[in-house]
Amino acid sequence: MQTSITRLALAAVLAVALAGLAEAAPRKKAPERGYFDVSRMAPLTDQKGDPANGRKVAATKGLCVSCHVMPIPEQPDHGDVGPDLAGVGSRMQPPELRMRIVDPKVLYADTIMPSFYKSDLNRVKKGLEGKPFLTAQEVEDVVAYLATLK
């Protein structure tokens, strides 16, 4: 836990510094993490996550690469809003990764990161109401993929 906080802070600082904006207006600090009970975050489905499909979901439907640099070089234009996810599998265990994807606001109330498995969202576009961003199995697949990023 302690290491991942430090890493996260480092990643955020690095991203800001690299963007050459270190002297610009104060930006988001590395988030403070709230307490959560890992044991609550059991797998969402009985079927084991498929890392290959998880990689695909991260690159496409999940829009993860819009905000995160990920080791998916064939996909152009990764974003740098969030930390680089290379090595995230050694920083975090699957329950924490799952919590991050399901509803990251539990960890950090003010995060920009979407809640990918929440269906009671505010003012969702007509036709998409009540549907989570990803299906339960897609979440499991992404968790399985992230766990391989050691």
Partner 1 sequence: MRKTILAAVIAAVAGGAAVPVLADPPFDAKDPKYAPYIAGEKRSGYTFAEPETRAMQDDDFSNPGFLWVEEGKKMWSKVDGKAGKACKDCHGDAEKSMKGVGTVYPRFDPHANALLTLEQKINQCRTERMEAQPLKFDSKPYNAIATFVKHQSFGMPFAVQTDGPVAPYFDMGRRLYYERRGMSDVACKHCHEDYWGMHMRTELLSQGMPNGFPQYRLKWQTLGTAQKRIRGCFEEVRAEPYPVDSLENTVLELYATWRANGLRVESPAVRK
Residues interacting with partner 1, by CB under 8 A?
14-15, 18-21, 24-25, 27-28, 63, 65-67, 69-73, 76-81, 84, 86, 110, 112, 114-115, 118, 121-126, 128, 133
The Cα 116–Cα 113 span in angstroms is 9
Judged by CB under 6 A, which of 36, 108, 121, 137 binds ligand HEC? Answer: 108
Pick 47 or 66: Cβ nearer ligand HEC: 66
| φ/ψ of residue 37, rounded to 5 | -95, 105
The Cα 80–Cα 83 span in angstroms is 7
Binding of ligand HEC at residue 59 (CB under 6 A)? no
The Cα 148–Cα 150 span in angstroms is 6
Q: Tell me how far, at minimum, the Cβ of 21 lies from ligand HEC, in Å.
A: 14
Pick 7 or 98: Cβ nearer partner 1: 7
- Close Cβ partners of 138 (under 8 Å, ≥ 6 residues apart): 53, 54, 57, 61, 62
Pick 46 or 73: Cβ nearer partner 1: 73
Place of tokens 């680089």: 84
Q: Tell me how far, at minimum, the Cβ of 83 lies from partner 1, in Å.
A: 11
**Under 8 Å between Cβ of 38 and 95:** yes
The Cα 1–Cα 91 span in angstroms is 8
Q: What is the CA radius of gyration of the chain?
A: 15
Pick 48 or 87: Cβ nearer partner 1: 87
Q: Which residues bind ligand HEC (CB under 6 A)?
A: 4, 7-8, 31, 58, 62-64, 66-68, 81-83, 85, 88, 91, 97, 100-101, 104, 108, 111-114, 116, 142, 146
